[in-house]
């Protein structure tokens, strides 16, 4: 397993990437924004103010993988990669508005909170079904090469997805056609409640790559520097025509699978505590202090800043009206057919009578 950054913040000098101070600051700020958004999202769901939340705590280091890409490259997320969108410039207010499905929700209330896309930053709208984004990503990479575009694709998925039909189809296609793809499996140890050892016979998830003729790399998924190194090399290989790379990022989902899950039924508190000691944000923070990029006080202020910012965004988002139910008929046809016009009139009549 590739590791650059140890738990205490010390590094393997031979593997330390050359990254500017400003870039490292951006990584930290993005990860803190994501962690704070996660904390607020869970509280909002428990308060009954939003209907659903997908936690990301413990998996914030994926931000470093996206940092290895060019702006023209496309990201195909699963559903714990909000940090990729934030890093690329998706405003936090857009994500909060999507939580509330209000009139400023760019998804128009059609997606579960946390499932969103942003074409402005080439962040593809994810699907809840497991593994479907893998075939989308390798197909898009193939299309980009066919059009002679300098574009590669990066796709995220969990270890549970490696047992899916779409994983097999996508990996087969990527291996046969040597598509310019980076495939990152976020092995967070559980496919909902199923531990990794019960959903695959493979000794390591990364071993699956070899059977498809794809280069495989395993990294510490809580080490931003290791993830960056692996993703950077994979992106350069893909861009130069050397084919796809499969990266197993060994990490841990500290919270529930979703707000509808009770992880205490299938794992111990001791296990969660052990992984909490490997927290990716704390590790990066130690590294930044050792490099004298941030002081402890400055790190604390970043957490406070995002806490205050998100409180204000949540207050504003909650005050906005919900998206109109009439929008269920829009964005389907260029010209609405008669039967939908009729249904829309009926819906409006119903709304007038019942409010």
User: What is the CATH classification number for the domain harbouring 89?
Assistant: 3.40.50.970
Do 90 and 140 fall within a single domain?
Answer: yes
Q: What is the pLDDT of residue 331?
A: 87
Look at the pTM and tell me if it is higher than 0.85. yes
Active-site residue identified among 111, 257, 283, 287? 257
The answer to whether the CB of 153 falls within 8 A of the CB of 141 is: yes
Do 307 and 233 fall within a single domain?
Answer: yes
CA-nearest of 118, 30, 31 to 74 is: 118
Do 334 and 249 fall within a single domain?
Answer: no
Alpha helices in the chain (DSSP H): 21-46, 63-67, 82-88, 92-100, 132-146, 165-177, 196-199, 224-239, 269-276, 280-290, 296-319, 338-354
Tokens of 330: 């829009």
Q: Averaged over 4-9, what is the pLDDT?
A: 90
Whole-number mean pLDDT of the chain? 96
Q: Is 266 noted as a catalytic residue in this protein?
A: yes
Q: Could you tell me if residue 12 is inside a domain?
A: no
Q: Could you tell me if residue 34 is inside a domain?
A: yes
Model confidence at 167, pLDDT cuts 50, 70, 90, reads: very high
Do 153 and 132 fall within a single domain?
Answer: yes
Do 246 and 333 fall within a single domain?
Answer: no
Residue 65 CB burial class (10 angstroms; 0-12, 13-18, ≥19): buried
Do 210 and 332 fall within a single domain?
Answer: no
Do 353 and 213 fall within a single domain?
Answer: no
**Percent over 70 (pLDDT), the chain:** 100
Model confidence at 342, pLDDT cuts 50, 70, 90, reads: very high
Residue 114 CA, distance from chain mean position: 10
Structural domain range at position 134: 21-323
Q: Which residues of 74-107 are buried (b: 16+ CB within 10 A; e: fewer)?
A: bbbbbbbbbbbbbbbebebbbbbbbbbbbebbeb
Q: Please state the domain count of the chain.
A: 2
Residue carrying the six token digits 């193939």: 142
Do 73 and 212 fall within a single domain?
Answer: yes
Q: Is 257 noted as a catalytic residue in this protein?
A: yes
Q: Which residues pair with 157 in a beta bridge?
A: 185
Active-site residue identified among 46, 198, 266, 345? 266
Q: Could you tell me if residue 136 is inside a domain?
A: yes
Do 346 and 235 fall within a single domain?
Answer: no
Q: Is 122 noted as a catalytic residue in this protein?
A: no
Active-site residue identified among 80, 253, 254, 283? 253
pLDDT of 124 higher than 90: yes
- Rounded Cα distance between 246 and 214, Å, is 7
Q: Could you tell me if residue 340 is inside a domain?
A: yes
- Rounded Cα distance between 183 and 75, Å, is 10
């Amino acid at each position: 397993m590739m590791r650059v950054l140890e738990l205490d913040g010390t590094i393997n000098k031979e593997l330390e990437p050359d990254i500017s101070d400003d870039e490292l600051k951006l990584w930290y700020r993005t990860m803190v924004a994501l962690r704070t958004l996660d904390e607020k999202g869970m509280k909002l769901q428990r308060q009954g103010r939003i209907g659903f939340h997908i936690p990301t705590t413990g998996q914030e280091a994926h931000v470093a993988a996206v940092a290895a890409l060019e702006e023209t490259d496309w990201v195909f997320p699963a559903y714990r990669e909000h940090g990729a969108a934030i890093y690329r410039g998706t405003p936090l207010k857009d994500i909060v508005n999507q939580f509330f499905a209000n009139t400023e929700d760019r998804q128009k209330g059609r997606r579960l909170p946390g499932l969103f896309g942003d074409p402005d930053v080439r962040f593809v709208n994810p699907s809840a079904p497991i593994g479907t984004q893998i075939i989308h990503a390798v197909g898009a990479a193939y299309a980009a090469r066919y059009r002679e575009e300098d574009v590669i694709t990066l796709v995220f998925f969990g270890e549970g997805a490696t047992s899916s039909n779409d994983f097999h189809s996508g990996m087969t296609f990527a291996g046969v056609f040597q598509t310019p793809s980076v495939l990152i499996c976020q092995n967070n140890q559980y496919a909902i409640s199923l531990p990794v050892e019960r959903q695959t016979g493979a000794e390591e998830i990364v071993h699956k790559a070899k059977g498809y003729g794809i280069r495989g790399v395993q990294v510490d998924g809580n080490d931003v520097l290791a993830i960056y190194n692996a993703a950077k090399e994979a992106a350069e290989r893909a861009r130069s025509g050397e084919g796809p790379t499969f990266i197993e990022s060994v990490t841990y989902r500290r919270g529930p699978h979703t707000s509808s899950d009770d992880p205490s039924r299938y794992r111990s508190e001791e296990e969660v505590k052990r992984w909490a000691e490997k927290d990716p944000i704390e590790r990066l923070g130690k590294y930044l202090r050792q490099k004298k990029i941030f002081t402890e006080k400055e790190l604390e202020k970043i957490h406070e800043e995002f806490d205050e910012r998100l409180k204000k965004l949540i207050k504003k988002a909650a005050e906005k009206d919900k998206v109109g139910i009439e929008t269920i008929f829009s964005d389907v046809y260029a010209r609405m057919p008669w039967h939908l016009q009729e249904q829309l009139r009926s819906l409006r009549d119903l709304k007038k009578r019942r409010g």
